[in-house]
Amino acid sequence: MTLSPRAFQSASILVVGDVILDRYWSGATGRISPEAPVPVVHVTVSEERPGGAANVAANVAALGAGVMLIGVTGADEAAAVLADRLEALRVRCRFTRVAGSPTTVKLRVLSQHQQLIRLDFELHNEVGGWMEQLFEDFRSALPGAQVVVLSDYAKGSLANVERIIDLARSQGKPIVVDPKGRDFSRYRGAQVLTPNTKELEAVVGECAGRDELIDKGRRLCETLGLAALLVTRGERGMLLIPREGEETEFPAKAREVYDVTGAGDTVVAVLATALAAGQDLKHAAALANTAAGIVVGKLGAASVSVEELAAALHDEVGAAAGIVSENVLIGLVERARLRGETVVMTNGCFDILHAGHVRYLAEARALGDRLVVAVNDDASAGRLKGPGRPVNPLAQRLAVLAGLRSVDWVVPFTEDTPERLICRVRPEVLVKGGDYRPEQIAGHGCVTDGGGRVVTLPLVAGCSSTRVVTALEGLTEGGSRS
């Protein structure tokens, strides 16, 4: 879909979890304290923002969706400040206020945008009578929600998380969890968990590489009945591991990492909101990845607007043209579709690029908004074309194709046909040159089953790589001609 300013207005999210007030005191440091070897900060700016589950709710509201937040606070000034900040952001709140306990507050002291110290004030997390009040608030709010988000910061609000998940499941509500701790069995029955790599490895064990991470993640999905894990991997982006089907890798999109505080909150908020707005899991994850790239460029716990998200999608799809791996291509295609763009795909060896190729690719590109060219690697091209081929190695063929104005993304494949790759990309338009009948073209069934179409384009008479090779061989055998 096209990401318009009203893209998420129909969504309704219920956020439950550990609410936090983030406080920032900042100012200049010009001297060292005579009392201890620490800098003296002359505080000139004081700022207060929602954190934890409250930041998740603020992120949902920034997207234009409806959101209610349920959590536990103290009966103190910090709780009142937090409620005021959230109401100003159009977040409806139901707080259970515990007398004699402080609201969870994280106070950060900064100078020149560098954090010098953090002071934490913790909610008393003993499970008491207030747990029943929180659950009743959840029960009454649940019918009005499309998706439930559980934001766990291990502060005690989700000590009874199993009961919350059971009730949500009984009413058919999808549950997205930002987990905490080593016992993910507490979240059994949720739809998606969004751990980072370290959090996931604390549960499944250290993983030697990407393949082992996927294998262990998929087994965890099966054990806990999850639809998927969306694993955040820092500078390596995100990895969507479904219980069934192929994984999808989303490359990191941050131009400059300024502050990672609250990035996980943004991920879970955008993912849940996109799901509530009707996006499938891959599209929702692609949006969450893009949003994370925006928010880490901001100071402190921050949110992302629909306008920022739409602009980032436009910039990254346009800038990411060129030679890509298969996994990166899938992420790029997903984001192109989020912008309402039509993806066209074709394939070939493209051994010696000639005028016929250039014209053919331009005509293919004219059938949509983005053109993907899948290219046989050297081994498969040799099997297809015979001894001595290809003349130009894969790296050179990819580079030449990527330089054409009509081509957006070039991806190599190793099989004799690109059918598997085409079925994974599922382009809206599949193009092949020559006299093929559409049903003879590799990938025809996958594309048409998905609602796409298969198009054949005529070849340019007198243009072929084989003819060029034959002419060159004749020159070599007969000597130079002038």
Lowest average pLDDT, out of 18-22, 214-218, 353-357, goes to 353-357
Tens-digit pLDDT profile for residues 420-441: 999 999 999 999 988 788 888 9
pLDDT at 481: 36
Residue 72 lies in a domain: yes
Residue 93 lies in a domain: yes
Q: Are residues 295 and 366 in the same domain?
A: no
Span between the terminal Cα atoms of the chain, in Å: 57
Residue 1 lies in a domain: no
Find tokens 């998606």 and name the residue: 192
Domain boundary among the residues 292, 326, 360 is at 326
Q: Are residues 319 and 446 in the same domain?
A: no
- Does the structure show a pLDDT above 50 at 113? yes
* Gap between the Cα atoms of 56 and 383, Å rounded: 54
Residue 238 lies in a domain: yes
Strand, coil or helix: 397: helix
* Gap between the Cα atoms of 285 and 427, Å rounded: 19
| Mean pLDDT score, 174-196 | 96
pLDDT band at 369 (very low <50, low <70, confident <90, very high): very high
Q: Are residues 110 and 241 in the same domain?
A: yes
pLDDT at 353: 86
Residue 453 lies in a domain: yes
C-alpha distances in angstroms, 268 versus 6, 59, 285, 287? 20, 9, 9, 11
Domain boundary among the residues 302, 326, 350 is at 326
Q: Are residues 203 and 282 in the same domain?
A: yes
pLDDT at 257: 44
What CATH number has the domain bearing residue 352? 3.40.50.620
Q: Are residues 204 and 307 in the same domain?
A: yes
Structure tokens given for 57: 């709710």
Average pLDDT, the chain: 87
One-letter identity of residue 347: N
Tens-digit pLDDT profile for residues 75-95: 999 999 999 999 999 999 999
pLDDT band at 321 (very low <50, low <70, confident <90, very high): low
pLDDT at 420: 92
Residue 4 lies in a domain: no
* Gap between the Cα atoms of 301 and 265, Å rounded: 8
Q: Is 241 left (phi over 0), alpha (psi -120 to 50) or beta?
A: beta
* Tally of domains in the chain: 2
* Gap between the Cα atoms of 411 and 332, Å rounded: 12
Query: In this structure, are residues 411 and 324 in contact, taking their beta carbons and an 8 Å threshold?
Result: yes
Domain boundary among the residues 326, 352, 373 is at 326
One-letter identity of residue 67: V
pLDDT band at 339 (very low <50, low <70, confident <90, very high): confident
Query: In this structure, are residues 151 and 18 in contact, taking their beta carbons and an 8 Å threshold?
Result: yes
**Of the listed 265, 351, 378, 408, which one is catalytic?**
265
Q: Specify the higher pLDDT residue, 351 or 163.
A: 163
C-alpha distances in angstroms, 7 versus 2, 230, 288, 331, 449? 8, 22, 14, 20, 27
Residue 294 lies in a domain: yes
Q: Are residues 286 and 351 in the same domain?
A: no
- Does the structure show a pLDDT above 70 at 168? yes
Strand, coil or helix: 45: strand
Strand, coil or helix: 317: helix
Q: Are residues 268 and 376 in the same domain?
A: no
Domain that holds residue 136: 12-326
Q: Are residues 458 and 318 in the same domain?
A: no
Find tokens 């739809």 and name the residue: 191
pLDDT at 127: 47
Pairing of strands 114-121, 105-111: antiparallel
* Gap between the Cα atoms of 420 and 446, Å rounded: 9
- Does the structure show a pLDDT above 60 at 144? yes
| Mean pLDDT score, 173-196 | 96
Q: Are residues 400 and 349 in the same domain?
A: yes
Q: Are residues 81 and 18 in the same domain?
A: yes
Structure tokens given for 214: 């996927």
Structure tokens given for 180: 């905490």
Tens-digit pLDDT profile for residues 237-294: 899 999 998 899 988 765 444 445 568 899 999 999 999 999 999 999 999 998 888 8
What CATH number has the domain bearing residue 29? 3.40.1190.20
Its pTM stands at 0.70
- Does the structure show a pLDDT above 90 at 399? no
pLDDT band at 1 (very low <50, low <70, confident <90, very high): very low
pLDDT at 482: 34
Query: In this structure, are residues 376 and 384 in contact, taking their beta carbons and an 8 Å threshold?
Result: yes
* Residues 214-224: b if buried by 16+ CB within 10 A, e if exposed: bebbbebbeeb
Residue 331 lies in a domain: no
- Does the structure show a pLDDT above 50 at 115? yes
Q: Are residues 366 and 319 in the same domain?
A: no
Q: Are residues 113 and 182 in the same domain?
A: yes
Strand, coil or helix: 433: strand
One-letter identity of residue 385: K
Is 265 annotated as catalytic? Answer: yes
Neighbours of 279 (CB within 10 A): 21
DSSP state, 464? -
Work out whether the CA dihedral 378, 324, 450, 429 comes out positive or negative: negative
pLDDT at 478: 52
Find tokens 């954190």 and name the residue: 51
